[in-house]
Amino acid sequence: MKKIINKIRSLFHGNHEAGMATAEYAVGTVAVISIGSVIWKLVTSDIFRDTVWNLILWLFRLITGITG
């Protein structure tokens, strides 16, 4: 029974490779920059700005009860 318990423990606490290798860092960095670029392009677009502004105005009117 003790051998089985030790085997199960080794599966969870064994000498598994942890972290990322250099190639994985490169791929991760490219992915983060790509996603960041898309988000930056979205946030700086006129459509996004207008949508956020309209949402703020709608919330303000909802809270204060002002119509118009």
Confidence of residue 62 (pLDDT cuts 50, 70, 90): very high
Question: Per-domain residue ranges for the chain?
Answer: 17-64
Measured CA distances, 40 to 3, 37, 48 (Å): 54, 5, 11
pTM of the model: 0.50
Read off the pLDDT of residues 6-61 as tens digits, 9 standing for 90 and up: 777 776 665 555 566 788 888 989 999 999 999 999 999 999 999 999 999 999 99
Amino acid 15: pLDDT: 56
Whole-angstrom distance, CA of residue 36 vs CA of residue 44: 12
